[in-house]
Amino acid sequence: MKPAPFRYFAPETLDEALSLLAEHGDEAKPLAGGQSLVPAMNFRLAQPAVLVDLNRIAALSFIRPDDAGGVVVGAMTRQRAVEHSELVAARAPLVTETVPYIAHAQIRNRGTFGGSLAHADPASELPAVALALDAQFTLACRSGQRVVPAEAFYTDLFETACGHEELLVDVRLPTAAAGSGFAFEELARRHGDYALVGVAVAVQRGADGTLIDARMAYLSVGPGPVLATRASASLLGTRGETEALRVAASLAAHEDIVDPPSDIHATAAYRRHLIEVLTVRALTRACSRAQEGA
Amino acid sequence: MSSRVFGEPIKRLEDPRLLTGDAVFVDDVERPGMLHVAFLRSPYAHGRLHAIDLTDARSRDGVIAAFAADDLGAYWQHGPLLVPPPPIADAVFYPRTQVPLARGKVRHAGEPLAVVVATSRYIAEDALDDIVYDLEPLDVAIELEAALDADAPRIHEDLDSNLAADVRQQKGDYAAARAAADVILERRFTYDHGAAAAIENRGVVADWDRRAERLTVWDTTQAPIPIRNGLAGLLGLSESQVRVVAPFIGGGFGPKIMMFYPEEMVVPWLAMRLGKPVKWIEDREENFFATTHERSQIHQAEIALDREGRILGVRDDFLHDTGAYNPYGLTVPINSQCTLLGPYRVPAYDSRFRAVFTNATIVTPYRGAGRQHGVFVMERLLDLAARELNLDPVEIRRRNVLEPDEFPHHHEIIYQDFSELVYDSGNHRPAIEKACAMIDWERERDGAGIQGEEPAGTVDKRRGVGLVCYVEGTGIGPYEGARVTVESSGSVSVSTGIGTQGQGHFTAFAQVVAEQLGVAVERVRVVTGDTRAFHWGTGTFASRGAVVAGNACHAAALAVRAKILRHASEALEVDEADLELVGGEARVVGAPQRRIALGDLAQRANPLRGAVAPGTEPGLEATSYFGPSRGATASGVHAMEVEVDPSTAMVEILRYIVVHDCGTVINPMILDGQIKGGVAQGIGNAFYEQLIYDSEGQLQNASLMDYLLPTAAEVPPIETAHLVTPSPLNPLGTKGAGEAGAIPTGALFAQAVENALREDLPDLEILEIPLSPNRLWELMCAARGEQA
């Protein structure tokens, strides 16, 4: 269980890193916290010829407010720092609620916010949260930057809109508006395991108490994070009554999520069942919090 | 004696070394010029090996050598049959043992095809990709029942089928018992045990000293002496030329008693062939394929009872997965067959098993060693019978357990130690009552269940309790030995041949010896697992260290004590009966100023000049052996409270109680640790762990990401209580404890989950372990008559 040979670079600036990526193209792989890439290399499932270690680029590690009332998180910010950030807790409470579900504290000390988002593992929590929050991803390459919404970032299994010469440099989380409520639910075999199913929910009530926005995003149910658009739409105009939540859960499990996987940990049928159970639980909490917030 | 050490919860003497990282493990062994080894392993579960070409691998920079089966010459041979079959009438057994490197055919994924030696493990692994080989995949026999079909792919082509053994044992007249029964229940049970997954994988370092003509091997084995003797034979060396050291080992649990593993044969040969020290350390992925498992049995079992719930007889017919080879003989299925009987009066028993070759990793004992499987069948049959007869599950057990006046109890069948299964002693009813009191059985059994009205949106959970019994045949022969020496400093050294994998031997054996010699336990230095220090014995297995080696230490300590008293009597000119051994001295009782230190006596017993009487042995030293006539019977009762989320089928264990009886206790703190570690592995077996093979014989979860070991977060606090019913079969009265925690957990889990769901699903029957939440949900759907 030793990695195949590779060349190793540890640039100290973003420009150097982007130059290295431009030079080596798809032979190169950026190394963030290494919590997924290094085991994959040790199993020789990943054999990058060039490793560009981003850990010395201090400029990629930050959490700061943005002008619109949201928060921007640098890609190399450790998950543990996000977990403990008061700014994140105030402006993106769904993130604060979710991060403790990512593996274990030791792994979050090393794992990065951007690394997890860019790795695009369909079983990881942060991509679903980014979808539920409509987060904006900043991608940089030598010739400039572009901003991609979470929905466009995730394209397929472990596939994203990020090109070989690009790096995810930061993620913008929009502010929690008045009347909004959030919740995250997942079911894992053991604490810290990849979830069998998980759901991140963001809802918002209008002045009359009816739901004017709802976004539900799932993990471990498809090739990437899955946004349940029909289920979300069915909630608009309701007050989040139990029956409305059940309808939404059923739509999510049977229409939005077309083909939940069967694997050694859960069959597709069990996953569908869990989607319904967890959706009701998450929506119940989110709607109740939205009431508090309105 | 003023300060007793035997029986006290003394902190483990070895822990400072372990906790500060100073303990030496096999991977800590570094030798000058040491080379590193990687094995090419079969990607297929079953295949015909037509050709293998090592040319490119050999030419890679940093590669020293590479070998396949044919390169081993006469050294290539099948491994030994480690455990021959016990003398059971009409038993059918076809021994087929493993080979060092595959030749012609591979029979399980991960079987080694070739070995590369390089200057680093990295280069050795790089070179594995250079090896070109022609391995034709064959159809596989992986599923236990299908593997016995007449047209199943044949794993050993010289046999008529994949049948490895067919053994029937009987007691009484089951047909008559059945005819007289009021209640007869028959079910099919499946029980699957997993990988031991010790925290330290296996490893071997071998160093051939050409000038001294001596081979030293560091090996993560539970049996260093048999390894030494075997290696000497294989390599054509004298046993005195081979030293095997089993240093600190991060967990054994059974798979490390297996021998010879292919790597264990190949690495010492490489060291001699190349004249260089060679190291192989198994990685975690290899461990899943190359280290033995336990795995599954399928039982078709029937119980016959009278209307009071008394057992009249049990019939069982089961299949046992033995894997691709069966070097460990019949130990695991015989343990299942014998341990099924539990602490109960079973007048008639008819049990047959068939062991089956499959295209999977070899099966050998793993903590519990088949006992889990048997206990599960019996305890579940009793639970079903209790339900049928409307009896409390505890009450049906009370009515069937053996009473103290029924021991020794003869079961009239043969146990794994080749002698009749006889329970030496037991006291089961008080253990049941104690466990009931600890878990508050009467209140919890009916009072738990649905937890009243929950506020909307929160999770409705169900609570339930369970209680099960088991016995464990422990401390089997043949023998172990120990040498105890009082040194001239007054320190005491103890050497024994068994290896240590975390059991606290350095402390427990010190306590046994210190008790007799009247020295502080810290002055007793114990050496285990080094054939240069002691070279008679078999190993650490079958919950036998404290019983067999413990009693050997005791016997040697008594012999040294006698020598001390004789020398002190002469030195102090008093009668031996007037002496006591206290504080490292021999003292005259009532006149403690008349004293002599043990170190001084040791010097007197080993004079540099002068004359000793003819026939005198020098020093204060003795070597003694202990071999029990048969195993000592430990027993226990476990109870559990669970909480089930009926919507998700997730189960949380809230409380776990163990009432345990292993006879005389040497160190209750070490014992508690043994029990709790076993329970943790039992919980893993019940709910988390399963080796999952696909239809091609590929293991689907060969990593600790997918093979779910319970962690501290999944194991609840465990409450223990101990009863002491000493074994009459050894002087200390000890019984083994190593496997106790792990044995009944699966049966207990099933009962507790059924109890929790009794209001929702009164007909739910859990007849299989392990039980993932997915599988439990499917069973719950089926009990509701729904399609899962």
Question: Cα distance from A284 to chain B (closest Cα, Å)?
Answer: 6
Identify the bridge partners of residue B396 per DSSP, sorted by sequence position: none
Cα torsion for B156, B159, B160, B162, to the nearest 10°? -50
Q: Kindly identify which residue of chain A lies nearest to residue B650, measuring between CA atoms.
A: A189
Apex CA B758: angle with CA B752 and CA B761, to 5°? 120
In a domain, B49, yes or no: yes
**Numbered residues of chain A with Cβ closer than 8 Å to any chain B Cβ:** 1-5, 39, 43-44, 187, 189-194, 196, 242, 264-267, 269-270, 273-274, 277, 281, 284-285, 288
pLDDT of residue B161: 98
Query: Is B442 found in the same domain as B304?
Result: yes
Which chain A residues are Cβ-neighbours of B708 within 8 angstroms? 189-190, 193
Secondary structure letter of residue A160 according to DSSP: E
Residue count of chain A, please give it. 294
Q: Do B788 and A192 touch (CB under 8 A)?
A: no
pLDDT at B463: 95
How close A63 comes to chain B (CA, Å)?
A: 31
Q: Which residues in chain B are closer than 8 Å to A288, comparing Cβ atoms?
A: 457
Among partner residues B286, B692, B713, which is closest to A264 by beta-carbon distance? B692
CB B346 within 8 A of CB B382: no
The answer to the question of residue B172 being in a domain is no
Do the chains contact at B688 and A284, CB–CB below 8 Å? Answer: no
Residue B717: give its domain's CATH number: 3.30.365.10
Optimal mutation site among B37, B285, B647, interface A, most CBs of chain A within 10 A: B647
> What is the dihedral sign for C-alpha B175, B179, B184, B187?
positive
Residues B96 and B233 in one domain: yes
| Alpha helices (H) in chain A, listed in sequence order | 14-24, 37-42, 79-83, 86-91, 93-98, 105-110, 113-119, 125-133, 150-153, 229-235, 242-251, 268-293
Cross-chain residue pair B713–A273, CB shorter than 8 Å: no
Say if residue B594 is in the same domain as residue B663: no
Closest residue by Cα to residue A179 from A156, A207, A217:
A207
Report the residue from A2, A265, A281 with minimal CB separation from B125: A2
Q: Do B688 and A189 touch (CB under 8 A)?
A: yes
> How far is CA B301 from each of CA B172, B316, B319, B379, B767, rounded to the nearest angstrom?
17, 4, 11, 12, 11
Q: How many angstroms away from the CA of B42 is the closest CA of chain A?
A: 16
The residue assigned the tokens 């199943």 is B152
Cβ distance of A5 and B708 shorter than 8 Å: no
List of chain B residues whose C-beta atoms are within 8 Å of the C-beta of residue A274:
648
Say yes or no: B602 and B500 in one domain.
yes
Q: Which residue of chain A is at minimal alpha-carbon distance from B773?
A: A189
Pairing of strands B214-219, B242-245: parallel
ipTM for this model: 0.96
**pLDDT number for residue B734:** 96
d(CA A272, CA B608): 84
Here the CATH number for the domain that contains residue B104 is 3.90.1170.50
Verify that B208 and B309 share a domain, yes or no: no
Q: Which of chain A's residues have a Cβ under 8 Å away from the Cβ of B710?
A: 190
Question: What CA–CA distance (Å, rounded) separates B231 from B238?
Answer: 9
How far is residue B499 from each of residues B215, B527, B528, B645, B706, measured CA to CA in Å?
19, 9, 5, 44, 31
Residue B97 included in any domain: yes
- Low-confidence stretches of chain B (pLDDT < 70) are 1-3, 447-458
Q: Per the CB < 8 Å rule, is B711 touching A2?
A: no
- Judge: A274–B648 Cβ closer than 8 Å, yes or no: yes
Domain of residue B220, residue span: 31-138+197-290
Question: Do B500 and B615 fall within a single domain?
Answer: yes
Does residue B591 sit in helix, strand or coil? strand
- B389 by Cβ neighbours in 10 Å (0-12 / 13-18 / 19+) ranks as middle
Residue B179 amino acid letter: A
Contacts of B286 in chain A (CB under 8 A): 1
Cβ–Cβ gap A190/B121 under 8 Å: no
**Last-in-domain residue among B626, B656, B689:** B626
Q: Which two tokens stand for residue A272?
A: 């569908």
Which residues does B contribute to its contact with A (CB < 8 Å)? 121-122, 125-126, 283-286, 456-457, 459, 647-648, 650, 688, 692, 700-701, 703, 705-706, 708, 710-711, 713-714, 772-774, 777-778, 788
Encoded amino acid at B233, one letter: G
Residue B703 C-alpha, separation from nearest chain A C-alpha, in angstroms: 10
pLDDT tens for A147-177 read 999 999 999 999 999 999 999 999 999 988 8
| pLDDT confidence of residue A292 | 58
Same-domain pairing of B524 and B646: no
Residues B103-125 as b/e (b if ≥16 CB within 10 A, e otherwise) read eebbbbbbbbbbbbbbeebbbbb
Residue type, B218: W
In a domain? residue B180: no
* Residue A107: C-alpha distances to residues A36, A163, A253, A263, B151 (Å): 10, 27, 31, 25, 50
Closest CA of chain B from A56, distance in Å: 26
> B358 with B146: CB under 8 angstroms?
no
Chains A, B: CB pairs < 8 Å: 66
**CATH 3.30.43.10 matches A7-53:** yes
The total number of structural domains in chain B stands at 3
Tokens of B772: 């993932």
Q: Is B788–A187 a contact, with Cβ atoms under 8 angstroms apart?
A: no
B159 assigned to some structural domain: no
Residue B155 lies in a domain: no
Residues with pLDDT less than 70, chain A: 292-294
Q: How far is CA A28 from CA A48, B233, B274, B681, in A?
A: 6, 52, 39, 42
Q: How many Å apart are CA B415 and CA B168, to the nearest integer? A: 13
Q: So where are chain A's domains? A: 7-53, 58-173, 180-293
Asked if residue B259 and residue B124 are part of one domain, the reply reads yes
HSE-CB for B380 with a 13 A CA cutoff: 29
CA B755 to chain centre: 31
What are the start-end ranges of the H helices in A172-260? 229-235, 242-251
Residues of chain B with Cβ-Cβ distance to A264 below 8 Å are 692, 700-701, 706
Handedness of CA B393, B399, B400, B406 (dihedral sign): positive
CB contact under 8 A, A191 and B713: yes
Residue B448: the pLDDT is 53
Examine the domain organization and report whether B218 and B356 are in the same domain: no
| Domain A180-293: assigned CATH number | 3.30.390.50
According to the model, what pLDDT value does residue B613 have?
Answer: 80
Q: Where are the beta strands (DSSP E) in B125-240?
A: 132-137, 163-171, 183-193, 203-209, 214-219
Q: Are B489 and B456 in the same domain?
A: no
Q: Is domain A58-173 in CATH 3.30.465.10, yes or no?
A: yes
Provide the CB-side half-sphere exposure for B622 (13 A, CA): 17
How far B118 CA sits from the closest chain A CA (Å)?
14
Nearest by CB to A273, which of B284, B703, B777? Answer: B777
For B200, the token pair is: 């330290």
Identify the closest residue of chain B to A246 by CA–CA distance.
B457
pLDDT given for residue B268 in this prediction: 98
C-alpha to C-alpha distance for A138 and B664, rounded to whole angstroms: 69
Together in a domain, B528 and B603: yes
Residue A21 tokens read as 């990526």
Alpha carbon B710 to its chain centroid, in Å, reads 18
Nearest residue, CB atoms, B457 vs list A43, A267, A288: A288
Closest CA to B693 of A264, A10, A289, A286: A264
* Residue B150 within any structural domain of the chain: no
Provide, as residue numbers in chain A, all residues whose Cβ is less than 8 Å from the Cβ of B773.
187, 189, 196, 270
Give every strand in the sheet of B591-597, ordered side by side: B579-582, B585-588, B591-597
Domain boundary among the residues B240, B265, B290 is at B290
Tell me if B143 is assigned to some domain.
Answer: no
Q: Indicate yes or no: CB of B711 within 8 angstroms of CB of A190.
A: yes
CB contact under 8 A, A281 and B122: no
- Strands (DSSP E) along A105-210, which ranges? 136-141, 144-149, 154-156, 159-160, 167-173, 180-188, 195-205
Copy the structure tokens of residue B514.
Answer: 């210190």
* d(CA B312, nearest CA chain A) in Å: 41
Nearest residue in chain A measured CA to CA from B704: A193
- Predicted local distance difference test score (pLDDT) of residue B3: 60
User: CB–CB of A191 and B708 under 8 A?
Assistant: no
CB B299 within 8 A of CB B316: yes
Judged by CB atoms closer than 8 Å, whether chains meet at B778 and A284 is answered as: no
Selected for mutation to probe chain B from A187, A189, A199, A284 (highest B CB count within 10 Å) is A189
What was the pLDDT predicted at B608? 87
If you measure CA to CA, which chain B residue comes closest to A279?
A: B457
A180-188/A195-205 β-pairing: antiparallel
Give the single-character DSSP code of B135: E
Nearest chain A Cα distance for residue B278, angstroms:
18
